[in-house]
Amino acid sequence: MISSGKLTEIYNSWGDKNNLQPLGSADEELYRNDLKPNQYKWLIKFIKIWDITVNKEIAGEKINYGR
């Protein structure tokens, strides 16, 4: 499973390649008025992956904490 840390690296690299730095959180970036359609679609997909990853990490921490 990919980690939220690795996703952060991917997100920042994408921001660099697309000249969108400095980046806020991905959901905040959706409100930019200078995004191209493909950039907007990338952010939507990224947010979905981010949410799944973070939820799995949180669930894993809860399981480990309970032991």
Q: What is the pLDDT of residues 45-57, one digit of tens each?
A: 999 999 999 999 9
CA distance 23 to 16: 9
Question: What interhelical angle do 4-17 and 37-65 show, nearest 10?
Answer: 160
Indicate whether 66 pLDDT > 80.
no
> Could you give the number of structural domains in the chain?
1
Domain that holds residue 46: 4-65
The DSSP code sequence of the chain is: ---HHHHHHHHHHHHHHTT-PSP--HHHHTT-SS--HHHHHHHHHHHHHHHHHHHHHHHHHHHHHT-
Q: What is the pTM of this model?
A: 0.87
